Amino acid sequence: MSLSYQILGGPGTDNALFVTLDTGHSQVRLLFDCGQGCLDSLRFGDILDIDYVFFSHLHMDHVSGFDSFFRVNADRTQKPNVIFGPPRTSEILHHRFQGYLWNLVEGAPAQWWVCDVEPHEMQKTRFDLGDAFATKHPEPPQKTDGIVLQEKQFTIKACTRDHHAPCLAYIVRETPTANVSTEQLQSLGLRPGPWLQRVKSPSDEGGMIDIDGRTLEISKLRELLLVEQPGQSIAYLTDFLLDDDAMNELEQELQGVDTIICESQYHPDDHELATRHFHMTSVQAATLAQRVDPQEFILFHLSHRYTPAIWKEMLTRAQDVYPRAKYPDHWWDELNV
């Protein structure tokens, strides 16, 4: 697989994250938050193809662009319409769904599922376009270990953080793949062939296998031939208090993450203000990155209270702590005003 991402919105405006997971045969598209204007830089087809929406929380700057997504996909049936968010997401989106006149949709088949995520439980609720989204259809709560979505190619974990209300940080991890070591294959005197599929398949219970006149044990071949290749990973962190406890917890959760997209609302000199508003400064964010050491560390979600010159200073202060900290590349035209 390959993982690519795009940060939507500019400095000092609403931001969101668009992630594409490419399996080589199909693509899965994920949208994290949906502030005002965030979808403007996506193609219409990309918006149609978004598979899942994940809200960190339901403050206006993270949800006010949702109507652009909803308008395009309200009657979508070719794929499920699934949204994740913290507690009360279904309540708040129910109001959004009913914010329009639906007098021409009786019996329409489109359905929407909204998942309220708590630390150890997830409540999924269905809403139907055919009844103008009038009725909530809750399903029994599901126990979780933080994993809110698990597919063959990837998992998504939600970590509840504190923004003076629950706020979700998300971690996307591709499933590791098992590759055959050609060196080991040669050292065993074996030729590649269809038999390798049995060795690579986790669903094959094992036993013995005949290869070019030799009878070998599948479990032993797996041990000798397969090398696990970790998948790519990305974390989305925005709008929460980064105190010592949160720092320690996230350090553990983020181990091995390749790319971290992290808010940088406040200048380091405004640490007290950031704490009061349950946000973090650029230096606090960089300190977390220093402890995790991702391959990429992107700061975003800058407060409009500052000027471009101050935004650049916030980045410099972050780079003093973690030199690989950066802003999205496409922001620099606005930052250099």
Q: Which residue has the higher pLDDT, 133 or 213?
A: 133
Read off φ and ψ for residue 112, nearest 5 degrees.
Answer: -125, 135
Choice between 240 and 195, residue whose per-residue pLDDT is larger: 240
> Across residues 271-293, what is the average pLDDT?
97
Alpha-carbon Rg for the chain in angstroms: 23
* CB neighbour list of residue 222: distance below 8 Å, 6 or more residues apart: 178, 199, 206
What is the model's pLDDT at position 316? 97
In this predicted structure, what is the pLDDT of residue 1?
A: 61
Lowest mean pLDDT among 9-23, 173-187, 203-217: 203-217
Residue 204 in this model has a pLDDT that exceeds 70: no
Backbone angles phi, psi at 301, to 5 degrees: 55, 60
Q: Using pLDDT thresholds of 50, 70 and 90, give the confidence band for residue 70.
A: very high
Q: Is residue 288 within a helix (H) or strand (E), and if so which, with residue range?
A: helix 282-292
243 is catalytic: no
What's the token pair of residue 217?
Answer: 């044990």
The 3-class secondary structure across 158-226, one letter per residue, is EEEEECCCEEEEEEEEECCEEEECHHHHHHCCCCCCCHHHHHHCCCCCCCEEEECCEEEEHHHHHHHHE
Of 219-233, 253-267, 294-308, give the lowest mean pLDDT range: 219-233
- Amino acid at site 151: E
Q: Cα–Cα distance between 85 and 72 in angstroms, integer?
A: 20
Mean pLDDT, the chain, as a whole number?
A: 94
Whose tokens are 């690989």? That residue is: 324
The stretches of 75-125 forming alpha helices (DSSP H) are 89-97
Note the pTM of the prediction, 2 decimals.
0.90
Q: Which of 47-61, 88-102, 131-145, 220-234 has the lowest mean pLDDT?
A: 220-234
What is the reported pLDDT for 306? 96
- pLDDT of residue 195 exceeding 80: yes
What is residue 226's predicted lDDT score, i.e. its pLDDT? Answer: 85
pLDDT digits (tens, 9 = 90+) for 24-45: 778 999 999 999 999 999 999 9
The mean pLDDT of 155-177, rounded to a whole number, is: 96
| Domains identified in the chain and CATH numbers | 1-176 (3.60.15.10), 177-229 (no CATH), 241-337 (3.60.15.10)
Catalytic residue among 33, 61, 116, 128: 61
Which of 261, 328, 271, 265 lies closest to 295, judged by CA? 261
pLDDT of residue 232: 95
